[in-house]
Amino acid sequence: MTVSVATWNVNGIKARIDNLLTWLEESKPDIACLQEIKSVDENFPKARIEDLGYNVVTHGQKGFNGVAILSLLPIDEATPRLPGDDGDEQARFLEAVVSVEGGALRVCCLYLPNGNPVDSDKFPYKLSWMERLEAFARDRLALEEPLILAGDYNVIPMPEDARHPDEWVGDALYRPESRGAFRRLANLGMTDALRASSDADGLYTFWDYQAGAWQKNNGIRIDHLMLSPQAADRLSGVTIEKHVRGWEKPSDHVPVRIELT
């Protein structure tokens, strides 16, 4: 059995619902992690997605943030919020355990803070969030089960993950502290699915709406699927579904999809 898992920052479910439904019918991921739904749970267009056969769980917030997990497979349990800060009200994390052949798959949908401007409290919040994610991953890795941390990390890991890395120097997405936190996550034993399958340049997941970035292919790679050893052992393919960026009323991100055997 092959299980496909995708991540996509839709940049507003209300604006992107038609594109989402088209993509779900075209790509048919078994599990889809959505970020930046910008919707409270009760306003999320759950029924339209369920009509395609998906189970839907959301952790929403009015106007910004918000994450959702859609699954053609049974969802055994779902838990919102990243542990480690009871005062954090931002809807950025959702964990689900999904039944798959031969056991269970733990999938976490995450939307890391942007962190800009770096001279505000937003950058320390980003770094503390990443510390919490590292602690969470360490705990989950101890379970020795297939685990996927999928989402918009708002981190450009390496220079080859940007068309013009020099333009991002000083930005929170490319600051050494952000990239170091991403490396620490990898050093726990998590595998960057895309980089496990290709070391090529020009593999981007985000193109800004401004300055003709899409037309010039001035992109960055900030949407990642990080896999535990038990998930990485089953990795059989990775696809950036770049064509979605060319649709009418697109998100500035595109889906990234992996296949697990």
Listed residue (184, 199, 258) closest to 227, CA to CA? 258
* Annotation says 166 is catalytic: no
**Does 36 carry a binding-site annotation?**
yes
Angle (CA) 112 176 87, round 5°:
35
* Annotation says 111 is catalytic: yes
Peptide bond into 117 cis (omega under 30): yes
Name residue 253's beta-bridge partners. 206
**Does 9 carry a binding-site annotation?**
yes
Q: State the Cα–Cα distance between residues 183 and 181, nearest whole angstrom.
A: 5
Helix 122-141 / helix 176-187 crossing angle, nearest 10 deg:
10
* Annotation says 164 is catalytic: no
Q: State the Cα–Cα distance between residues 202 and 105, nearest whole angstrom.
A: 31
Residues composing the chain: 261
What single-letter DSSP state applies at residue 251? -
Q: State the Cα–Cα distance between residues 245 and 205, nearest whole angstrom.
A: 9
Catalytic annotation, pick one of 59, 174, 204, 253: 253
Strands 55-59 and 67-71: antiparallel
Angle (CA) 149 231 74, round 5°:
75
**Does 161 carry a binding-site annotation?**
no
**Does 253 carry a binding-site annotation?**
yes
Q: Which two tokens stand for residue 107?
A: 């999938």
Catalytic annotation, pick one of 30, 59, 152, 223: 152
Catalytic annotation, pick one of 54, 111, 153, 174: 111
**Does 154 carry a binding-site annotation?**
yes
Give binding residues as ranges.
9, 36, 152, 154, 252-253
Which residues are marked as active site?
111, 152, 253
- Binding site for Mg(2+), by residue number, is 9, 36, 152, 154, 252-253
